[in-house]
Copies of this chain bind each other. A is one copy, B any other.
Amino acid sequence: MKVIKGSVTAPKSFAAAGVHSGIKKKRKDLALIFSKVPAVAAAVFTTNKVKAAPVLVDKQIIKKGGPVQAVVANSGSANACTGRQGIKDAVETMKFTAALLGIPQDNVFVASTGKIGMPLPLDRIKYGVKLAASIMNESYASGTDAATAIMTTDLARKEIAVETTVSGKKIRIGGIVKGSGMIHPGMATMLCFITSDAVIERRALSSALKQSVGSSFNMITVDGDRSTNDTVLVLANGRAGNKKITSGSPGYGTFCQALEYVCLRLAKAIVKDGEGATKFIEIKIKGAASLSDAKKTAFSIANSCLFKTAMYGSDPNWGRIVSAVGNAPVSMDPEKLKVYINGILVVKNNAPVPGSREKARELLTGKNAVIEVDMQTGKSGCVIWTSDLSTRYVRINAAYN
């Protein structure tokens, strides 16, 4: 598998466009992704019980088994908490796009991100879809435009493409994502669209996606919340001509590996672009009694405001790490706990390691931090990623309107 220059247009027969429809004042705000042929689709959605209208509509499409041929995604308005009108607007977007592109209504997937509780400006959406359909093409620049059009508070555009080989045929996977936190309900977090030209059975695509999301997007946190709009969609249009991938076929592992890589790179890009983030933090747990315990412990650290502010201050304040571990809803023995900061053992036998604090402090001045916790109670572990909590995060989110 190799990383190639590209975006959602890297796989064969995918066209895209990103345009300014007028929802936002100046910036691009509407993306269209189109597959020349209907594509097998799989998706995962937010677990928040308050779901945005497009999520409710899309869930039906995926439940019916797809296929999907077009994706319309807008930024600037989340179409969440918009009542029945929100559902109507999402369905009208599907209908309009389907008629324009000459495809069935159910083959149009819709997504929105932006402010909660304002009605979707349908006239602008229609204008944008029309404009996007008239200029969409398979160039790298068009995929990049789509990646730009879904950004909200994101500082950086996030895209990737990879190439691998299945049954002697080159297949490609491309992806774009927006989000700079696990949640920003006021701006509706994370949207991820992944395309592939692989020939793959729907159920295999679905299980590959679940596995990949489990070890990537579900292993990051910026502020511990989940939005009303979170969506990860993968489309596979079969244009690569490989032997059909099924759950048991030899190509499945190869495809999973590539998809997981794409998800992980995009997930890490979100953390690096975390609102106001100054540090990229990796938290490794080992010696936990179970994977579930490891995850709970890792997220207890990652979501502790005190840990995050210490990281912002480049302070090796391991007391906050130990306390966060003790606060996780899992059984643990303080006497057995070992904590490493950037490779330096700072705590063992429930007491500090002499001289370690100064060494750890020196190593914390950079942009990366690795926190390793050995619970010494079992054989499970996990790795998750998060960012620090800066004064800029507070300013961004206090002033967002």
Contact = CB atoms under 8 A, between A and B. Distances in A.
Nearest to A47: B327
B351 A225 contact: no
Contacts of A80: 319
Contact of A225 (B324, B331, B349): B324
Interface string A91-126: 000000000000000000000000111100000000
A352 interface: yes
A298 to B, nearest CB: 16
Contacts of A401: 315
Contact of A320 (B82, B186, B312, B332): B186
A398 B117 contact: no
A297 to B, nearest CB: 11
Interface stretch (A13-21, A24-32, A283-291, A389-397): A389-397
Nearest to A389: B394
Contact of A48 (B323, B352, B398): B323
A89 B248 CA distance: 62
B323 A227 contact: yes
Contact of A351 (B82, B318, B327, B351): B82
Interface stretch (A172-180, A212-220, A303-311): A303-311
B185 A332 contact: no
Q: Name the prevailing secondary structure of the A interface residues.
A: loop
Contacts of A117: 318-319, 347, 351-352
A372 interface: no
A260 interface: no
Query: What number of copies of this chain does the assembly contain?
Result: 2
A310 B50 contact: no
Nearest to A228: B323
A226 interface: yes
Given A309-B394, A397-B306, A397-B309, A225 B323 contact: yes
A351 B337 CA distance: 48
A327 to B, nearest CB: 6
Interface in A287-345: 304-306, 309-310, 312-313, 315, 317-320, 322-327, 331-332, 334, 337
A184 interface: yes
Contacts of A86: 351
A60 interface: no
Of A83, A85, A305, most B-chain CB atoms within 10 Å: A305
Interface in A339-371: 347, 349-352
Interface in A230-287: none
A183 B117 CA distance: 34
A86 B350 CA distance: 10
A118 B357 CA distance: 11
Contacts of A315: 398-401
Given A309-B398, A313-B398, 13 more contacts: A49-B332, A50-B334, A82-B351, A83-B351, A85-B351, A115-B319, A185-B323, A228-B322, A305-B305, A305-B393, A306-B397, A315-B398, A390-B398
The 3 closest A-B pairs by CB, nearest first: A116-B319, A313-B398, A185-B323
